[in-house]
Chain A
Amino acid sequence: MKKYTCILCPVSCEMEAGQAVDHGEISVSGNACKRGEVYARMEIINPQRILTTLFPVTRGKAVPCKSGAPLDNHKLFDVIKLIKNSRAQKPVKAGDILLPNVLGTGVDIIATADRP
């Protein structure tokens, strides 16, 4: 069993979760809601996070962006590298897809502010 701190809300539930050696069922305890259980399972199987950073813009200030869904943690820095080597063209509107299906993850990089 390993300890996990849920990151999904301020309560920060301290959970214990583990998987049987034969890759059997994952058991989770200490979570106050269902979301915590799902989170702990993912932490064991494949930790993921929403990525937020700045996306470079040609002849303008970089625009804040986010991944449209959580990305595998081990791919975060590869995705950042790709973002920093890209350039968005103005005008950019919040919600615009800046990089579709980034690195084949099925997740889009989306602008979260306007650059008119």
Chain B
Amino acid sequence: MYDVIVAGGGAAGIAAAISAVREGAKVALIEQSKPGGRLLQSIHNGFGDEFFGEDLTGPEFAARLASRLVSSGIKIIIATVTDVSSALTVTVRRPSGKLAELKAKAIVLATGSKEEPEPSTAPTSALRGVYTATEAQRLINIEGKIIGKKAVVYGSNTLAVILARRLTLEGVKVVCVCESREKPVALPKDIVQCLEDFDIPLYLNTTVAAEGESALRGVYIKKALSEPSFIACDTLILSPELSPDDTLTVGAGIVIDGKTRGAEVTSALETSVPGIFAAGSALHTQTSADDAAFEGMDAGRNAALYAEGKQETTEHVRITAGEGIHYVMPHTAPLEGRTKIFFRAADFRKAVRLDVRCGQDLIFAKRYPALLPGLLENIEISLNGLSQDVRLSLEEQ
């Protein structure tokens, strides 16, 4: 019997385990292979500024976090979590194939995200030379493989543009990055240092269709209102949006937010199933590993408090996303103290005002010169004495 079981050993999971053990909990961390998760294959820098106060590469960030696991007393179990139940049991499959059931007083879900390819690209993924971004990154950075000579990248999230740069630095000609939407998904700083620095064109409002028999021969790219044009290439990287891996969440009967595709949580990061907490990319799309680690710390500490029976049960108010807001985090918060509310804008917006309303009453407002959907913003407000749902929305200035 453990006090806290953490499922997943990426940035959020390791941080959760460390902070739970600091609270005096008996902790198990379950990870499929080596702790570090996606960080191990993210060999670029840009991690750690907030969490470690230093610019680090992914493997360095992972190693620094994992070093805190050494002699921490945290039991590291190499296995795959196959099921989590509302009775606070965790089923794992060992590398031998043997199933085992573990029991805990609290659980943290930190199993990261998955790629969900658009249905339109599904048939092409069987062609030789077509890779998902996560797979391509693993092949290049972990296996050291050279995956082609000439590539097209479809999708413009952070991973897509980072890969475009990686391929270029490894000698692969990246013809272009295509995005079906009007704006790139990645933050402007990543568009600059990954694409503009290397003169890689970014085509917006553009769809891509693969062409080939068993191996990729090229792609047809189609800009809105124009004829498709053919680009010969031997590599196509599909980089769809990453969304929380909801297998365990759904299996445990946890209420899911339709926007984030992760669990609905309280300000303590507790899901709708008492004793099950969530953090990192398993909860919502993360802007950085630093954010994921901070969230993991919170979830781990709160899980340990729950296991000790120290969590206070107070009345909660619901927080919802209104006009212009993609999602809010958390979904409920206690009516006392100050509450940090995270939110993402639905679209790129300039000169807007964030309104927080309780019923018709405006309880908080803040002006933003610009809001980017790729950036997780936060405000801190007091919800003392409120009786109705709290709603965040954006108003034109």
A: residues with CB less than 8 A from B are 5-12, 14, 49-54, 61-62, 64, 66, 73, 76, 80, 84, 94, 112-113
Contacts and interface: CB of A to CB of B under 8 A. Distances in A.
Nearest to B169: A53
A5 B190 CA distance: 10
22 contacts: A5-B188, A5-B189, A5-B191, A6-B189, A7-B193, A10-B374, A10-B375, A12-B189, A14-B188, A14-B370, A49-B193, A49-B197, A52-B43, A52-B45, A53-B43, A53-B170, A54-B43, A61-B143, A61-B144, A64-B141, A73-B197, A76-B169
B375 A11 contact: yes
A52 B60 CA distance: 12
Contacts of A10: 187, 189, 287-288, 374-375
Contact of A8 (B43, B44, B143, B189): B189
Contacts of A94: 59-60, 63
Interface string B166-207: 000111000000000000000111111100010000000000
Interface in B25-60: 40, 43-45, 49, 55, 57, 59-60
Interface string B282-294: 0000011000000
B386 interface: no
Nearest to B191: A5
B59 A7 contact: no
A32 to B, nearest CB: 10
A12 B57 contact: no
Contacts of A8: 189
Given A12-B372, A113-B59, A7 B43 contact: no
Interface in B248-288: 287-288
Nearest to B291: A10
Given A53-B169, A64-B43, A7 B144 contact: no
B144 A54 contact: yes
A33 to B, nearest CB: 12
A50 B48 CA distance: 15
Interface of B: 40, 43-45, 49, 55, 57, 59-60, 63, 140-144, 169-171, 187-193, 197, 287-288, 370, 372, 374-375
Contacts of A73: 197
A108 to B, nearest CB: 14
B166 to A, nearest CB: 8
B42 to A, nearest CB: 9
A7 B194 CA distance: 10
Given A6-B189, A12-B187, A113-B63, A52 B375 contact: no
Nearest to A67: B45
Given A54-B170, A112-B59, 5 more contacts: A50-B45, A52-B44, A54-B140, A54-B144, A64-B59
A94 B43 CA distance: 12
Q: Which 7 A-B pairs have the closest CB atoms?
A: A12-B188, A64-B43, A12-B189, A7-B189, A62-B144, A113-B59, A112-B57
A54 B188 contact: no
A96 to B, nearest CB: 13
A62 to B, nearest CB: 4
Contacts of A5: 188-189, 191-192
Contacts of B188: 5, 12, 14
Contact of A80 (B49, B143, B144, B169): B169
Contacts of A50: 45, 55
Contact of B43 (A76, A80, A112): A112
Nearest to B372: A12
A3 B375 CA distance: 21
B291 to A, nearest CB: 9
Nearest to A50: B45
Nearest to B55: A50
A94 B171 CA distance: 25
B369 to A, nearest CB: 9
Contacts of B169: 51, 53, 76, 80
Nearest to A65: B43
